[in-house]
Structure 1
Amino acid sequence: EAGKQTFVRYGCVGCHGMELQGGVPNPNSQGGEVPSLLHVAEDYTKPEVANIIRSGKLPPVENSNKPAPPLYMPAWRSSLSNEEINRIVEYLWSLRPKKEVAW
């Protein structure tokens, strides 16, 4: 899939993992690690995720009296085309858990 290839090619797996599980330590960020992307579709819309990829995002800080978390989502607007960003977003949405059908 093109979105997964783009995700890997640009090094997103370095923080988010091949399986999008996150877990890379990020001291003083809420939760203390890079979050999983497996449930991103439950918390954000596609345009919101595309904007985060395009513009970057600082992680929420656990304790404002401590140093800022060392890892953050960088802005990719100068490296990725809109088409590549959309491919990544579609890839993330393709991995969301399937809803169970109630009987």
Structure 2
Amino acid sequence: MEHSAVGKLQGGFNVVSGAWPLVHMRSFEAVTGAKTDKWLVRTVSGLLITIGAAQLRAAGTPGGADQARLLGIGTAATLAAIDLTYVAKGRISKIYLVDAAVELLLVRSWLRAT
């Protein structure tokens, strides 16, 4: 897969997953568990939308793929580490293991991209 394709894939995923709790917090909590600090969920949502939009914009431009890659690997590795750490501690739902798997697949995709 090319860098631009990975950037567009992850950018879209970040925008959609970031928008979900902003659009419908109730369904987000039904899947991921109740949240005490909704302000923090909204903050992370905004950051994911911003990162995703930057990836979508950069992915198809000369030199932009490097920026999309840097954002992509850093974001995915951070989210996977948080998911794995806090599922293991019992602080967040095991459904976050699905997100960790997706994030690790994105890291792998970036590392294998041509």
Please give the range of the TM-score, normalised by the shorter of the 2 chains.
0.3 to 0.5
Using the size of structure 1 for normalisation, the TM-score is: 0.34
Using the size of structure 2 for normalisation, the TM-score is: 0.32
